[in-house]
Structure 1
Amino acid sequence: MTAIALGFVPEPITVSLDRILPSRKVPAGLATSRKFRQVKSSIEEVGLIEPLSVAALDAVSGHHLLLDGHVRLVALQALGHASASCLVAKDDEGYTYNNRINRLSTVQEHFMIRRAIERGVSQERLAKALGVDVSQIAKKVNLLEGICPEAVELFKDRQFSVELGRVLRKMKPTRQIECAELMLSANNLTVAYAEALLVATPAHALVSDKRARKISGVTPDQMARMEREMANLQGQYRLVEQSYGQDVLNLVLAKGYLIKLMENALVAKFLKAKHPDMHEQFVLIAAAVSLD
């Protein structure tokens, strides 16, 4: 088995700020932006959480090129810090780190906030560090209360509003899982969509055994139609889920066959002369880099 190459040196190092060279210009007005104020406040309250990403030391200049963390660097300088914790990259400095970093998901943020509170950090201090109201911190702390572990697992890598938990906890666990799967398959994790699913949920699938309040402006006929379409969508989703693996395998095999077919010069020439439309589609399929 081939070992996975690490993109960074495992242990961070401390680098003087005057030895870090930004790789791009800081946008105008950064110092007055909300994002900058949040980052600065966070560093001021709890310190630098995510180290800066830098290239290896340049032997000639004695500087590290900054790859990711320009806003954090400016904030550190504004706060008067002399040095910062940095991760040294092993890859080429042209690597676009922002495109490959998985930003903190809502579930991960929940666990980090809970861990900070367990270690004695007050909600008020966390709110100041994150630049939000204290009530938002309370919602983040209680985000997963009443949500079943299976639904949490489905949402663990996604970002969504803390209000989503308020809607989901009104449903029983099996319905929470159904709605989570529907929201993810539709790539729609909005509170409005969750509330629509809640309204379409049968009474027996709700925690209170009482139908959710109807959406204003929606007639009973429209609601009944939406419920039927939702039930149909759930059925279709399960059918697709069952056949997805086999369908992907068939597509991979078909693509492999077409590649070999188009490599035959006589076959390719015949198709291009007699069936140009088919030839064009076969070429596109063979050249596709993914099933998407």
Structure 2
Amino acid sequence: MSSRKPIVLPDGFEHTTLRVPIAEIMPLREVPNSVRKSVKYGQIAASITEVGIIEPPVVVPDRQRSSRYHLLDGHLRLAILLERGDTEVVCLIALEDEAFTYNRRVSRIAIIQEHRMILNAVKKGVSEERLARALNVNIANIRAKRNLLTGICPEAVDLLRDKHVPLNAFTELRKMKPMRQIAAAEIMVAMNRYSTGYVKSIVAATPEDELVEKKQRAVRGLTEAQIELMSRESARLDREFKLIEQSYGADHLDLVLATAYLGSLLSSAPVVRYLAQHHPQLLTEFQKLTELQQAA
């Protein structure tokens, strides 16, 4: 039987959790065998065995059938529960409009999600030693992830919440003041680049009044001219991002709908046969678009 209990959640979610039969949850993608054999998959499976589900999967109710749900986040956790033979799982319920903006195809836990999982586990009384054993890492790694967001402003955290950002990149983000952290996170998302080296370049291009501490006179490997060029480029990206942000929501929805329509066309054998005979190059491009959307 489904049950609800109060919980404090971010905007875009109902303020309850719901125990949902796993049979009523429809994943948006299959977990490939290559992922099932990965180290991350094994870590998640071990943590579930050791401490249970700490970060609940996120689902959105089906519009046609209220008892069914679409899985937005937690594909690996659900796959592991199915392998274990579990029949129910406690989920976070997303609002309907959140389905278009939430990262719906997460195939592995991002570092901020892992940080929150660790904090939740600690709050429930799980020791650092037990967590380290469950995740197959050393205690220093657990402590670093536990303190991951210290000095990071909430708006930057929200922008990077489902991105796979290296641990050391957050060390670089801490060198900047909150408003610059937000701008840096926006640039990272816009460019789809999250490496520590890229964040270091953003720090190097940051004016001193936007840094927590004054930068050294010379940045290793960069000349003054290169730093000045990076500063101008960073400012230009900031302006362009603000312009793109104004139309992103509508553009993203159009893209989702168009790709879904293409997918439905390519599921028809007569349509594929016709395109293959008369427009093979167009068919190839359509297939690439649908494959990219599925892998996103």
TM-score of Structure 1 vs Structure 2, range by shorter chain: 0.5 to 0.7
Distance 1:164 1:35 in 2: 20
Percent identity between the aligned chains? 37
Cα distance change, pair 34–229 in 1 and its aligned pair in 2 (3 A) = closer
Q: Which has the larger radius of gyration?
A: 1
Does structure 2 conserve the Cα–Cα contact (< 8 Å) formed by 1:202 and 1:211? no
Please say if 1:151 is aligned against 2:156: yes
Cα distance change, pair 245–167 in 1 and its aligned pair in 2 (3 A) = closer
Using the TM superposition, give the Cα deviation of residue 141 of structure 1 relative to its aligned residue in structure 2, in angstroms. Answer: 0.8
Q: Which residue of 1 aligns with 2:166?
A: 161
Q: Which residue of 1 aligns with 2:8?
A: none
- Out of 237, 241, 260, the residue aligned to residue 237 of structure 1 is 241
Distance 1:14 1:233 in 2: 44
Please say if 1:42 is aligned against 2:47: yes
Two-structure CA RMSD over aligned residues (Å): 4.5
1:96-137 CA distances to partner (integer Å, 9 max, x unpaired)? Answer: xxx955454332322221121122211121111011222221
Distance 2:228 2:146 in 1: 36
Cα distance change, pair 161–225 in 1 and its aligned pair in 2 (3 A) = same
Q: Which residue of 2 aligns with 1:219?
A: 223
Using the TM superposition, give the Cα deviation of residue 84 of structure 1 relative to its aligned residue in structure 2, in angstroms. Answer: 3.0
Q: Which residue of 1 aligns with 2:86?
A: 84
Q: Which residue of 2 aligns with 1:207?
A: 212
Distance 1:245 1:116 in 2: 36
Q: What pairs up with 1:116-131 in 2 under 5 angstroms? A: 116-131=121-136
- Out of 164, 172, 194, the residue aligned to residue 199 of structure 2 is 194
Structure 2 stretches lacking a partner, 5+ long? 1-17, 24-29, 58-74, 90-102, 256-284
Cα distance change, pair 39–145 in 1 and its aligned pair in 2 (3 A) = closer
Distance 2:148 2:217 in 1: 21
Using the TM superposition, give the Cα deviation of residue 86 of structure 1 relative to its aligned residue in structure 2, in angstroms. Answer: 4.4
Distance 1:43 1:212 in 2: 49
Tell me which amino acid in the other structure corresponds to 1:84. D
1:170-210 CA distances to partner (integer Å, 9 max, x unpaired)? Answer: 11011111101111111112211111100111111111133
Distance 2:155 2:113 in 1: 15
Does structure 2 conserve the Cα–Cα contact (< 8 Å) formed by 1:201 and 1:211? no
Distance 1:168 1:127 in 2: 26
Please say if 1:184 is aligned against 2:186: no
Does structure 2 conserve the Cα–Cα contact (< 8 Å) formed by 1:199 and 1:211? no
Q: Which residue of 2 aligns with 1:171?
A: 176
Tell me which amino acid in the other structure corresponds to 1:192. G
2:86 partner SS: strand
Distance 1:228 1:150 in 2: 24
Tell me which amino acid in the other structure corresponds to 1:234. D
Structure 1 stretches lacking a partner, 5+ long? 1-9, 16-23, 52-66, 77-82, 88-98, 253-283
Distance 1:246 1:14 in 2: 31
**TM-score relative to the length of structure 1:** 0.55
Please say if 1:106 is aligned against 2:111: yes
2:169 partner SS: helix
1:138 partner SS: helix
Distance 1:159 1:246 in 2: 22
